[in-house]
Amino acid sequence: MTDTLIEIQNFQRKIFENKTISERFVIGAETIDFGKILVENNIKNSMPEISETELKIAVFRRYYGNFFTEIETNNIIESLILFQNSRLDNKKFNF
């Protein structure tokens, strides 16, 4: 479903096509970052007390929940937890 007139779509497409490859890449990267922020905010709104590690796990599940097997998912989550814990330990000692 789209509510944008075809003329406007064509105009937007032309603007994008006139951008350099680097500019297109930046637009794509910014779009992905914005999408991640939306997902994180949605999760935080539904679970206000969520920790940083739990948030990363919830984002991972939201993005990739159906992509990996249960064993693979558990291994990845375990690695995320270990990584986050090591980062928190390093912050304590100013590494």
CA 87 from chain center: how many Å? Answer: 19
In our burial notation (b when 16+ CB lie closer than 10 A, e otherwise), range 11-35 reads eeeeeeeeeeeeeeeeeeeeeeeee
User: Looking at the domain assignment, is residue 22 inside a domain?
Assistant: no
Read off the pLDDT of residues 9-38 as tens digits, 9 standing for 90 and up: 999 999 999 999 999 999 999 999 999 999
62 contacts 39 by C-beta, under 8 angstroms: yes
Whether 23 maps to a domain, the answer reads no
Q: Do 31 and 38 touch, CB atoms closer than 8 A?
A: no
Assess if residue 25 is contained within a domain. no
Domain count, the chain: 1
Q: What is residue 94's predicted lDDT score, i.e. its pLDDT?
A: 57
**Tens of pLDDT along 78-89?**
999 999 888 766
Instruction: Give residue 90's pLDDT.
Output: 62
In a domain, 33, yes or no: no
Q: What domain range is 69 assigned to?
A: 51-95
Position 89 in a domain: yes
